[in-house]
Amino acid sequence: MSVSRHTTAATKPTSAVSYLRARSNTGASTLSAQREAIQAYAISHGVDIVQEYCDGEEEADDPDPRPAYHRLLHDLEQSPGNFSTILIADWTRWSRSLDLHDVLSGETRLRRAGVTLTAVASSPANESTDVADTLLTTPPALTPVVVYLPATDPIRHEALSDAMLAYACTHALSIQQTYHDDARHPHFPALQQLLADAGQPPRSFSAVLTPHASWWVPTTVLPDEKVLAGACEQLDIVLHLLHPNAQDSPFIGTIVQIIKQYMASEYARELSAKVLDGAKRLGQTGAHLGGKAGYGYRRMLIDRDGHHLGLLEHGIRKTQSTQRVILVPGPDDEITLVNWMYRQIAEEGQSIPQLVTALATRRATTDQGRPWTRTTVRTVVTSSRYIGTLIYNRTNTQLGGRRHLNATSDVITVPNAFPGIVPAALYHIVQDALAARGEIKP
């Protein structure tokens, strides 16, 4: 189910564009997954995708602005009406960071054009209309404002961003643009540019928000507030001066706290969902998703093209995100012993305790060099991995809670994911025999 960050009174859109952005080191795979999710949503909702904008792996690592993202916004403003919605895989693919100032400022251009931004991978939990969600949705009657920031250190800049965002939320202001003097220049080029833009009609803002001089340390070079106030009055622009004590307001402090908590929890939820989705996609390719290989198997490291790089010893992990781990048959003596266990149950009618006794008589040990127990024997004679079937996401444990079984629809089952070492017919005979004797649940 999808969630739209902006809502309009128009009917369901019939034309849309899609925007994709790669993640570092996994660009090709994430772009493919994003494209599939967006296309599936478009088909199910009757939306026609007229164009795709994609910032690939190279742009994802580039500190410069994303070319496809800015080309999309340029096309939106130059050719209005060609599409009515933008489809993205999830919110993190649209916004480069969790900076709320950037989020609110960037989406203002979409609201002015009447275009909807829809994340197709969002869960129904996002559809709740709590206080934080209300704050993140800009009402249509907001006053357009620009922000001016003199040069400062990163810590003070972050504090100002939080305070100005809270001020804008509580005073019905919509931040259109930020003017920032990056260096302590006595002529303040960013401020001069702001005043020049204000004097050229048509003007896209009617107010200026800037910090009061008491925000800054004595060594900071600041413009004269009287000069700034006089220029704004001459241009018929409202000047909002943010005082440091404004952030001490309990109401504003509560808003900032709600926004930060909302963004942190939303980021954690979306990250958890993306990790699980990625694990599901890997599981469907037959990759080993963690844990021990099991008696009779070994872990083989492969590259992105499927070439074998070598066996992984116990406790050794892969070193690159593009590498994968698969299961391969282990030593012949282990494979022989596994098949002997299955035949003892199927042909001799032995139970699991009797098998443990027989293995102790043979002085057989596990691949860890330990004696066989009922638990380790039960694992071998009941695990579907021995016929090459991969099962993942059967159980779930979140935030240190109790383990619980997932719904059957969420369990990933991949037959023939890797070579089996026990005949399938023998495996099913053993499962029926154990279930008939009550040693396992049917």
What are the E-state strand segments in 44-193? 48-55, 85-88, 116-119, 143-149, 173-180
C-beta contacts of 54-62 below 8 A and 24+ residues apart: 54/19, 54/20, 54/21, 55/20, 55/21, 55/22, 56/22, 56/27, 56/31, 57/22, 57/24, 57/27, 57/28, 57/31, 59/21, 59/22, 60/21, 60/22, 60/23, 60/24, 60/27, 61/24
pLDDT at 213: 61
pLDDT at 3: 43
Cα–Cα distance, 16 to 87 (Å, whole number)? 7
- Exposed e or buried b per residue across 228-256, where buried means at least 16 C-beta atoms within 10 angstroms of its C-beta: beebbeeeebebbbbeeebbeeeebeebb
Q: Do domains 1-123 and 297-436 have the same CATH topology?
A: no
The count of other CB atoms within 10 Å of the CB of residue 331 is: 11
Superfamily for domain range 1-123 = Resolvase, N-terminal catalytic domain (3.40.50.1390)
pLDDT at 361: 92
Cα-Cα-Cα-Cα torsion 223, 229, 230, 232, nearest 10 degrees, comes to 110
CB 88 within 8 Å of CB 94:
yes
Residue linked to tokens 């008696």: 295
In the three-class reduction of DSSP (H, G, I as helix; E, B as strand; rest coil), residue 371 is classed as strand
In the three-class reduction of DSSP (H, G, I as helix; E, B as strand; rest coil), residue 148 is classed as strand
**Domain ranges (residues) in the chain:** 1-123, 128-284, 297-436
CB 371 within 8 Å of CB 362:
no
**Planar angle of CA 110, 116, 119, nearest 5 degrees:** 115
- Give the DSSP letter string of 337-368: HHHHHHHHHHTS---HHHHHHHHHHTT-B-TT
Q: Which CATH class is domain 128-284?
A: alpha beta
Q: CA distances (Å), 233 to each of 94, 189, 195, 201, 304, in order?
A: 37, 20, 11, 16, 63
pLDDT at 2: 47
The conformation of residue 246, written as its DSSP 8-state character, comes to G
User: Span 297-436: which CATH code?
Assistant: 3.90.1750.20
List, in order, residues 6 or more apart from 206 with CB less than 8 Å away.
Answer: 143, 144, 145, 237, 238
pLDDT at 22: 81
List, in order, residues 6 or more apart from 406 with CB less than 8 Å away.
Answer: 393, 394, 395, 396
Q: Could you tell me the mean pLDDT of each successive run of 10 residues in the chain, 442 residues long?
A: 43 76 64 87 88 72 67 82 84 58 58 78 42 39 80 69 74 81 70 84 84 54 64 81 58 59 74 80 81 90 88 86 89 94 93 93 90 93 92 76 81 87 94 90 74
Query: Which residue(s) pair with 117 in the sheet?
Result: 86
For the chain, helix, strand, coil in percent to 5 are 45, 20, 40
Cα–Cα distance, 401 to 393 (Å, whole number)? 16
C-beta contacts of 352-357 below 8 A and 24+ residues apart: 352/377, 352/378, 352/381, 352/434, 352/439, 355/381
pLDDT at 185: 61
